[in-house]
Structures are given as C-alpha cells and as structure tokens.
Amino acid sequence: MAHPKRKISKTRRDKRRTHYKASLSQIAIDKTTNEAHLYHRAHWYDGKLYYKGKVVIDNEEPAEV
C-alpha cells in the first residue's frame, strides 16, 4: 500500500481542493405560473402541484369518501 513520505499540510491540501466546486443547479421558469423550479421536478404553487406546466395534484378540490 502506498504511504506518503511526509505529511501534507492542511493549507496544501485545501489549495488542491479549491478546483472542486459544486456546479449551480439548473433553474427553469414555469410558463403557466412564472415560478422558478428545478428541471424535472414538480413544484407547489397556490395549493396545486405543477409538472411541465400542467396541474398534477389539486388540493383545493374536496376529497371523495
């Protein structure tokens, strides 16, 4: 198994890791509600769940028993 000959300092380690950055997530604007949301994700707006500009779940409707 490989062993380092000397200890790597925290500063040197952190300098190397500066190049690993988290990329910004993709944000989409819904055409029907003008609400910002993540791509391929449903989002709530005014008690309704929207996906691809269409209502998937409407909580305002009374539940059937």
pLDDT at 60 over 80: no
For residues 48 and 43, what is the distance between their CA atoms, to the nearest angstrom?
8
- Listed residue (61, 8, 55, 3) closest to 30, CA to CA: 55
pLDDT at 6 over 90: yes
Q: What is the pLDDT of residues 8-42, one digit of tens each?
A: 999 999 998 888 777 777 899 998 889 999 999 99
**Using 50, 70 and 90 to split pLDDT, how confident is the model at 63?**
low
